[in-house]
A and B are shown apart, each in its own frame.
Chain A
Amino acid sequence: MPYQNDLTPKEQSYLDDSLQMENLCLTKCAIYADQCQRPELKSLFSDHAKLKRQHVNELKRLLSQSNNQMI
């Protein structure tokens, strides 16, 4: 997956912000899955945490590609 262009500052900052938000949501989902009382919600939150994990990985991939590009 070659990535030709460097990120623009806006793309960089949006990716940073998104990564932060996804990480926050991931953390909350993990906590809620632990704390909630209904078992069906536990699986809901852990499923959602998995989706958030995918998002985090995707954003990290984009960020690391651009970082490698700059080195």
Chain B
Amino acid sequence: MAYRSINSAMTSRNRLSDRDMILDILATSKSMSNLYDHASLEASDTMIRDTFEDLQHDEHRSAEMLFNIMQQQGWYNTNATASSSSRSASSHRYRNSSSNNSNRYNSDASGRYSSASSRSQFGRNSGDTSNSSLTGRSRDSNYSQQSWNV
């Protein structure tokens, strides 16, 4: 799952974080859009097909809305590619996160993307192509789109 590397540090032991909940509903919307897509293709009756298409359209709208909300909250991203200083700063937002937790998620993310150590070696203006898309002004939004479209 592409989502795992950016999973919420807010998740505590036996409880879903707000972010997990939205992510779950969003995943549900996507899978139901799939279901309605097949259903409308297979329907032989026009009214049934129109209904399925309407329902699918609703799912698309819902998914878009949930996506926008997650992006506004900054629940997409940032920690995995941010510098270590901003990473530790933003981890304070997560009330329930222990240092163990955030370390675990960060190391997971750094394995998947470029590691924090290599970034600090190359610096922010590195010409290294694997980092270039992750640095600069639109780094966070780029990362959001990438992680979402996987």
Contact = CB atoms under 8 A, between A and B. Distances in A.
B18 interface: yes
Contacts of A11: 39, 42-45, 48
Interface in A15-58: 15, 17-18, 21-22, 24-25, 28-29, 32, 35-38, 41, 44-45, 48, 51, 55, 58
Interface residues of B, number: 27
Contacts of A15: 39, 48
Nearest to B43: A11
Interface residues of A, number: 30
Contacts of B69: 44
B51 A58 contact: yes
* B interface: dominant SS: helix
Interface of A: 3, 5, 7-8, 10-11, 14-15, 17-18, 21-22, 24-25, 28-29, 32, 35-38, 41, 44-45, 48, 51, 55, 58-59, 62
Interface of B: 15-16, 18, 21-22, 24-25, 28-29, 31-32, 35-36, 38-39, 42-45, 47-48, 51-52, 55, 58, 62, 69
11 contacts: A11-B45, A14-B35, A18-B52, A25-B28, A25-B29, A28-B28, A36-B21, A45-B25, A51-B58, A55-B58, A62-B48
